Chains A and B, each alone.
Chain A
Amino acid sequence: MYSPGNTVPIPPMVSAWTNGWGIVSEGSFANAPASTAWENANRGTWVPLMVPAVCVARRLWWANGVTVSASYNIEVGLYLDGGHKPGTKLITSGSVAQGTASQVQFCDITDTTLTPGLYWIYVSCSSTSATLFRSLSAATQEDLLRFEQESVGPGSAPSTATPVEASYNAVWLCGFATTASP
């Protein structure tokens, strides 16, 4: 039987900004992402992502801001849901030196198949001097549904998250690519 609209095409780049997948497209984020200094050294942050169809994460990425240094390290990743908060680590980039300013920086990962469901996008940074792109929520932090954990700097993403609710209403521009290139 013909049933239009039941195929879910997979976007090439997935983040909290991905319409129908991420919270920015649903929430009250008044402004487009802007280059901003990282919030707290070695803090890890998670935001939810609803994956509606089977897809494969082939690269992880984040958006570098205007001030970068190879001495600043970043780790991005994906976590499984653990009861509507971040649970078990699925895959991360490991610790990666920050690259070129105002560019999306990609990290190859082992291809990781995601089945439909709730996931959490993770990012941490070693320095408050490093800048990345982020948007601020105009809503309360509870509405933001962001979680965070201290002392989990790049290379130390916890195998199982023990997060607390957000103390800062930012969502950082990062996620995964379903394509290997470009």
Chain B
Amino acid sequence: MRTISRRTAVIGAAALTVALAVTGCSKASTGGSSSDTGTSGGGGSSNLNVVFIPKNLGNPYFDASDAGGKAAVGELGGKYSQVGPQTASPDAQVQYINTAAQQHASAIVISANDPKAIGDALTQAKQGGTKVVTFDSDTDPQYRDVFVNQASPDGIAKAQVDGIAKQIGDSGEIAILSAAANATNQNAWIALMKKDLAADHPNIKLVDTVYGNDDDQTSFDKTAALLQTHPNLKGIISPTTVGIAAAARYLSTSDKKGKVALTGLGTPNQMKEYVKDGTVKEFYLWNPTDLGYLAAFTAAALVDGTITGKEGDTFKAGRLGEYKVGANGEVLLGDPTAFNSSNIDKFNF
């Protein structure tokens, strides 16, 4: 008898606990949703609340862009937060999008890890009144309001061609050290560079294009081979951050240092030592801090209704000036930034 009653008591207690938990939960859900309506309160810029979701945390590139975003939201008097996954995977990003949507953030500013996989989560966020701005890496256009594009292909090609022309005196042989032979963006840039060269720099002759596959060692070896096969080479353009760093490392220890010009797309942290030792005079990349700054202002403009994301809308982006929404809901940051000995110490990415 005694044992039976004890068992009954235990079962009873367990049942009670479960019942409490269940009622607790249901009460929780009603309580929560009523407080929702209280705090969401539309999206006037007075309660601007912008959530930055980079591809992953601990990435210097995104640290730089997020710093720009933070500065912009600060200027606007809003609330800024930065959350994101540890690894650059779309499923982990979805959790942060959902959370931001639940908190009724006025805008999400995100660099997408997948153009489609985070789409449903973004759509739900938009339905809940949150504005969605993508930057650096876009989703399919229907999932976001505006994409803040870091650079146009034309701008990237022109900056590098003009750069090498300036460095070699607008005449002589040059070569290109690219990434993979079938890399879409690389090939688009190379085609545009050829067009620019033919149109504006007839005395510069592109003698070779080699592929380092975005591998440090391969790019290093290809640079060595280029210099051997083309003894009159005056300049190299490497429109890839891996390639330009490997080429600079080779040049810095070869007797061609300072004689063969090198430019392209690189990051300041990788290139700092080669700019300081004179191997590289100037290279290019968009400025991620400006990119984040512009993305935050774009988000704020969407929230306060200055723009809706349709072509032709214009808005002011603080210190960067006036911007216009282009085709496909894209805002273009502008020309790439030139990095050289005069400014390279100011950047950390």
A, B from the same assembly: no
Chain A positions near chain B (C-beta within 8 angstroms): none
